[in-house]
Structure 1
Amino acid sequence: MSNLLNIGSGALLAFQRALSTVGHNVANINTEGYSRQRTEFAARDASAHGYGYQGNGVQIVDVRRMADSLATSRLLDSGGELNRLQQLSVLSSRIDSLLSDKATGISGPWSGFFDSVSALSSNAASSAERENLLAQAKSLVTRFNQIDGHLDSLDAEVNNGLIAGVDEVNRLSAEIANLNGRIGSNASQASGDLLDRRDQLIAQLVGYTGGNAISQDGGQINVFSAGGQPLVVGASASTLVTTADPYRPERLQVALETNGQRITFGRNGMGGQMGGLIEFRSTVLDPALAELGRISMALADTFNQGHAAGMDLYGQMGGDFFNLPPPTASGHAGNTGTATLQATLGDTSQLDGQNVILQFDGTAWRATRADTGASVPLTGTGTAADPLLVGGIELVLGGGAPAVNDRFLLQPTAGAAGAISVAITDPGRVAAATPVKGSADLANSGNGKLSGLKVTDAGNANLLDTVAIDFIGANQYTIDGAGPFAYAAGQVISHNGWSVTLDGAPAAGDNFTIGASGTGSSDNGNAKLLANLDDASALNGGTLTLNGAIGGLTTSVGSAARQADYSAEAQQVIHDQALAARDSISGVNLDEEAADLMRLQQAYQAASQIISTADTLFQSLLGAVRR
């Protein structure tokens, strides 16, 4: 009878604890990362009697955590990659919106500026058109400045994101290491809730850094970054820090601090959210800054050259219309030599905007791309007479001698859009006129007329000299008495940096004069040339126009943003599938729990009936004895 009571009380206790497990599952249905638990029953060891073995009821042998390591690992991998792609997509889309929106992009002010130049070419003497040209030029450079400033702000956001990420990674790593220590060398003895907590922290950590988690013998878990650097090993956690870029101190990098040394994470050394920040900066932000700067430099240089070939209202040759910032060459923080590099724009058509590392090997310089390490053509020795030439940039050594392995980062165009400005404020200084004009002697007997007079070399010292072209016959002419020179119909006559053609046929004795346009000229020859410079093939070796470059920038950024968005959407599907696979094993299903609850409740009630029956039998026995 006592055995019956023990069986009933043991069953009652077992089913009560099983009901508590079901209640624990239901209570944590909304707990992120929770793995449902299941009570495992087993029969107690039977007791031997002469006639055989008799059972002793039920006992709980385990409260099992329903988790699958493969499903958890798959979810961990997909989560880190999803965080990377989402971070990349969000930031790339912001640049795309900035450049493609009419209110913030460059295309509106760009069109407004060249439209104002075209308007000036129709009325070169108008002060209103000149004022409008300067206003539109200021609007254009302001937009360049604003976009560059927004991109710099995104760079600062990346810095702030890395700082916050490093703090969070260090916190998570320390907590995981602490849990590893608490779990000890036998994870099977740890509570399911403690293991869930560790898995959730690992998922959060990998969400920041990418990488993977590897179980040790005994159940402790080591966590490594996407580049293989250890973040947590057993009960020990590594420390991440932010460090200044050796070339650009204003830009932060992430490094692992271990054994008194700092190991900087490379471009592919970090995944997850922080990897997305680093990838965005190197593959989207930096190229956008460089290309925006390249366009602004090409515009300024091309327009300055065209403007210099014209004459203003004061009878002076046109000067720079835009102030053009020089390229930047920054020395590495570890350089031991005293040399500096002064960079200037050389050939705009060869300007590619790619950042270049220049390194001195003790005898010569070599150049490699900063992003890929690929070799870049480099000529020259670095002297003023023979400057280093790389990607359309000229560099002259100064300040002292370089030491072996001294390095410099050349940024040909980055930041240029933020520093470009309008060089002139006086509308009268706009060089709209062709600096030279031609006239025919009234006594000419032929029907030749000057046509297509243009400047071919604005720097020619004799450009504005008055020159007489005398035809001594229909096929011969002299220039200021020099010659005679042979002439054929339609032939170009060039002299002192200008060229001209004749329509019709000149006769012997015909005279033409070429001289300076002078002050107050209403000529629009140079303005007409300036108005078409947006279609000038100024880049990529003369194969890409300025308009094409503007369209290419918007297209490339938009393409990068769309690609990142598509990749993030695809990874979201993969992550959802991994989450569903994990939840099919570890997730709490209310229908299943309700069924278990009813089943265990009935078992509990049945066990209570066993105790009641044992009590009735015992009372009956006592009653029989009393008689």
Structure 2
Amino acid sequence: MSNRELLSIATSALRVTQKALDTTGHNIANVNTEGYHRQRVDTATRTPLFTGAGFFGTGVHITDVQRAYDEFLDNRVREATTRFSETDRFYRLSAQVDNITADPDVGLASAMANFFNAVHDVATDPTSIPARQTLLSEAGTLTDRFHLLDSRLRELDAQTQHELQAQIDEINTTATKIAELNHKIVHEIGKGQGHLPNDLLDQRDLLVTRLAEKIDVTPVPQDDGSVSLFIGKGHELVGGAHANRLGLKANDLDPNQQEITFDSDSTSLTVTKDLTGGEVGGLLRFREQVLIPTQNKLGRLAAGIALEFNQLHQSGYDLDGNTGQDFFVAPPIAVMQNGTGTVTATYTGPSADLQASDYLLEYDGSSYTLTRLSDRFQQTLTTFPATVDGIQIDVTSAPTGASRFLIRPTAEAAGKIEPNLDDPRRIAAAGSAGAEGDNQIALSLAALESDKKLLGGKATFQDAYGQMVTEVGSLTRAAEISRGAHETVKRQTLEAHEQLAGVNLDEEAANLVKYQQTYQAAAQVVTIASQTFDALINAVRR
């Protein structure tokens, strides 16, 4: 082997070792960089040189610079991240509802107990003006408590929609950045003749994981090095260098409710029910499984109390012998529409039939279909007025074409119930006009405390409220347990990922020593080759 070949071997070792040192330094520099995957230099022997004595090695060269990457582990991290984010957001919001409804200073239990105690006092002494005044005062306190709970739930609803907008804005921003990285990565792979730009891939993987915190996303690698991202039921959020967008729009029946849209260049689709996972999935689950049902159950209780009290109170007589009026202002039933025609709805009772649900009445041009939204139960209505679940629905002006009507018997009742009386003498405690000390109706009103007037005649007012609190508490507790489980899975997957891809400073320090010694040895080979060459030259000169 000639000195030139020896020098070539030595210089190849110097070049490769220098790049290995550069890569080690790069690893150390990025030890705290989020999403960074440890890199290594892959080497191979150069093509050997054949001589009469056999094949002699010609040195070393770099084949690639690879990152410590495992697609399976990265997918597990992404999936664990999206599941934890969903359950965490769902739990935190549900806990707020649980705290509101179960709080004795805010909840209804004590207010209802005090109200019925006042009713019992009037039944005990029906002519007592102080007892009657106390009843009116407790009625005002009870309705105020309904209003307070309703306002707190509506504040949570507003918070949820505000967060939904913030999450969607962040999803759109992240999707745009991923599309831009796709463009850069495809360009760099082409320029690098198939070699991968590891740092750009790390940046893109980190953004995909951050996107998974917001929504369940499925990445599909493409042959050119880009990645396509799909959400929901196959909606392509990112394809190559192009990103579609999510948006929010008001529900076409209830403008207070926001729907998520998937906006591409040519279409805009409502995809609210298609989306799961991440913080967006947690927000949507909370709205559908906790917030809306709680609002409806609270409203059912308010409407039930108003209906039962009004019905009995109207059958009695006040201190002046007048027929009883409504004790409460019964909440009106809201009807919202998209189309033509006019639909009205009123309470008919019994309150035991009331369901904690909204209803969707659809007219297709020839027939009416009513859907109870809480359980999707459908029925065809052929005549009007029609009585369904304790409410009467009437079409007072027929639609001229396809139309939809959202009927909300209970959702807004808690915020609209009001006391109707301000004069204690107007309380109708007597069963007959002019009967001194008659407490017949007052006794019946007091008995409502223990009568099972709700939930199909199986629950008292306190039972119905207690069941609502228990259901919210159970959902919250289940969410807390699920959150803990998903947090454990996420931590374990991150630890496994860190073991594979993370930078170990002890290992990198050992590599530095190894590469330093290799570099020094290769440099010594260069020195020896130079000295040998000089010795040959001197020998020739002699």
Give the TM-score taking structure 1 as reference length.
0.81
Instruction: Note the C-alpha offset of 1:329.
Output: 1.8
> 1:409 is matched with which residue: 398, 402, 406?
406
- Secondary structure class of the residue paired with 2:61: strand
Letter in 2 for 1:16: Q
Letter in 2 for 1:216: Q
For 1:574 and 1:297, locate their aligned partners in 2 and report how far apart those are by CA, in whole Å: 45
Q: Which runs of 5+ in 1 are unaligned?
A: 437-463, 465-515
For 2:235 and 2:58, locate their aligned partners in 1 and report how far apart those are by CA, in whole Å: 55
> 1:53 is matched with which residue: 52, 55, 59?
55
- Secondary structure class of the residue paired with 2:120: helix
Whether 1:359 aligns to 2:362 is yes
For 1:118 and 1:602, locate their aligned partners in 2 and report how far apart those are by CA, in whole Å: 95
For 2:321 and 2:382, locate their aligned partners in 1 and report how far apart those are by CA, in whole Å: 40
Letter in 1 for 2:398: A
Letter in 1 for 2:474: S
- Secondary structure class of the residue paired with 1:243: strand
Over the aligned positions, Cα root-mean-square deviation in angstroms equals 2.2
Residue matched to 1:243: 249
Whether 1:428 aligns to 2:434 is no
For 1:307 and 1:371, locate their aligned partners in 2 and report how far apart those are by CA, in whole Å: 32
- Alpha carbons of structure 1 residues 540 and 171: separation in structure 2 relative to 1, 3 Å: same
Instruction: Note the C-alpha offset of 1:626.
Output: 7.1
- Secondary structure class of the residue paired with 2:248: strand
- Secondary structure class of the residue paired with 1:535: coil
C-alpha deviations, 1:218-247, integer Å up to 9, x for none?
Answer: 322110113221101122111211111011
For 1:138 and 1:619, locate their aligned partners in 2 and report how far apart those are by CA, in whole Å: 109
Show the 5 A alignment for 1:65-84.
Answer: 65-84=67-86
Show the 5 A alignment for 1:431-510.
Answer: 431-432=428-429, 434-436=430-432, 464=433
Residue matched to 1:564: 479
Whether 1:585 aligns to 2:500 is yes
C-alpha deviations, 1:430-470, integer Å up to 9, x for none?
Answer: 223x232xxxxxxxxxxxxxxxxxxxxxxxxxxx4xxxxxx
For 1:120 and 1:214, locate their aligned partners in 2 and report how far apart those are by CA, in whole Å: 72
- Secondary structure class of the residue paired with 1:214: strand
Contact 2:455/2:464 (CA < 8 Å) preserved in 1? Answer: no
Residue matched to 2:378: 375
Instruction: Note the C-alpha offset of 1:144.
Output: 0.7
Residue matched to 1:540: 455
C-alpha deviations, 1:281-313, integer Å up to 9, x for none?
Answer: 111111001000000100111122222233322
Instruction: Note the C-alpha offset of 1:213.
Output: 0.8
Whether 1:594 aligns to 2:505 is no
Show the 5 A alignment for 1:612-623.
Answer: 612-618=527-533, 620=535
Residue matched to 1:474: none
Residue matched to 1:467: none
Contact 2:109/2:462 (CA < 8 Å) preserved in 1? Answer: no
> 1:257 is matched with which residue: 255, 259, 263?
263
- Alpha carbons of structure 1 residues 523 and 374: separation in structure 2 relative to 1, 3 Å: closer
Instruction: Note the C-alpha offset of 1:72.
Output: 1.4
Instruction: Note the C-alpha offset of 1:30.
Output: 2.2
Give the TM-score taking structure 2 as reference length.
0.93
Instruction: Note the C-alpha offset of 1:210.
Output: 0.8
> 2:109 is matched with which residue: 93, 107, 110?
107
> 1:163 is matched with which residue: 162, 165, 168?
165
Instruction: Note the C-alpha offset of 1:96.
Output: 0.8
Whether 1:145 aligns to 2:138 is no
For 1:100 and 1:583, locate their aligned partners in 2 and report how far apart those are by CA, in whole Å: 42
Instruction: Note the C-alpha offset of 1:372.
Output: 5.0
- Secondary structure class of the residue paired with 1:544: coil
For 2:121 and 2:318, locate their aligned partners in 1 and report how far apart those are by CA, in whole Å: 16
Instruction: Write 1 or 2 for the structure with the bigger share of strand.
Output: 1
Equivalent pairs counted in the alignment come to 535
For 1:56 and 1:120, locate their aligned partners in 2 and report how far apart those are by CA, in whole Å: 108
Give the greater-gyration-radius structure (CA).
Answer: 1
Contact 1:80/1:209 (CA < 8 Å) preserved in 2? Answer: yes
- Secondary structure class of the residue paired with 1:286: helix
For 1:124 and 1:298, locate their aligned partners in 2 and report how far apart those are by CA, in whole Å: 24
Letter in 2 for 1:20: D
- Secondary structure class of the residue paired with 2:74: helix
Moved more, 366-375 or 298-307: 366-375
Residue matched to 1:446: none
Instruction: Note the C-alpha offset of 1:10.
Output: 2.6
Letter in 1 for 2:367: A
Letter in 2 for 1:110: M
Contact 1:183/1:220 (CA < 8 Å) preserved in 2? Answer: yes
For 1:534 and 1:606, locate their aligned partners in 2 and report how far apart those are by CA, in whole Å: 94
- Secondary structure class of the residue paired with 2:87: helix
> 2:389 is matched with which residue: 363, 366, 391?
391
Letter in 2 for 1:536: D
Letter in 2 for 1:556: E
Letter in 1 for 2:354: L
Instruction: Note the C-alpha offset of 1:145.
Output: 0.6
Letter in 2 for 1:435: G
Whether 1:228 aligns to 2:245 is no
Residue matched to 1:22: 24
Give % identity: 36
Residue matched to 1:93: 95
Contact 2:367/2:382 (CA < 8 Å) preserved in 1? Answer: no
For 1:592 and 1:134, locate their aligned partners in 2 and report how far apart those are by CA, in whole Å: 78
Letter in 2 for 1:355: D
Letter in 2 for 1:407: R
For 1:371 and 1:191, locate their aligned partners in 2 and report how far apart those are by CA, in whole Å: 52
Contact 1:212/1:226 (CA < 8 Å) preserved in 2? Answer: no
- Secondary structure class of the residue paired with 2:78: helix
Contact 1:148/1:417 (CA < 8 Å) preserved in 2? Answer: yes
Contact 1:380/1:389 (CA < 8 Å) preserved in 2? Answer: no
Whether 1:177 aligns to 2:179 is yes
For 1:525 and 1:591, locate their aligned partners in 2 and report how far apart those are by CA, in whole Å: 88
C-alpha deviations, 1:136-185, integer Å up to 9, x for none?
Answer: 21111111111111111111122212211221111111111111111118
Contact 1:343/1:393 (CA < 8 Å) preserved in 2? Answer: yes
Instruction: Note the C-alpha offset of 1:624.
Output: 5.7
For 2:531 and 2:320, locate their aligned partners in 1 and report how far apart those are by CA, in whole Å: 125
Whether 1:574 aligns to 2:489 is yes
Instruction: Note the C-alpha offset of 1:616.
Output: 4.0
- Alpha carbons of structure 1 residues 589 and 371: separation in structure 2 relative to 1, 3 Å: farther
Contact 1:225/1:271 (CA < 8 Å) preserved in 2? Answer: no
Q: Which runs of 5+ in 2 are unaligned?
A: none
Letter in 1 for 2:366: T
- Secondary structure class of the residue paired with 2:273: coil
For 2:270 and 2:283, locate their aligned partners in 1 and report how far apart those are by CA, in whole Å: 15
Show the 5 A alignment for 1:98-137.
Answer: 98-137=100-139
C-alpha deviations, 1:533-577, integer Å up to 9, x for none?
Answer: 122211233222211101111011111111222222222222223
- Greater relative contact order structure (CA < 8 Å, 6+ sep): 2
Residue matched to 1:31: 33
- Alpha carbons of structure 1 residues 216 and 225: separation in structure 2 relative to 1, 3 Å: same
Instruction: Note the C-alpha offset of 1:346.
Output: 1.1
Instruction: Note the C-alpha offset of 1:625.
Output: 6.5
For 2:522 and 2:535, locate their aligned partners in 1 and report how far apart those are by CA, in whole Å: 20
Instruction: Write 1 or 2 for the structure with the bigger share of helix.
Output: 2
For 1:618 and 1:127, locate their aligned partners in 2 and report how far apart those are by CA, in whole Å: 123
Moved more, 98-107 or 283-292: 98-107
C-alpha deviations, 1:383-417, integer Å up to 9, x for none?
Answer: xxxx122221112222x321343111111100110
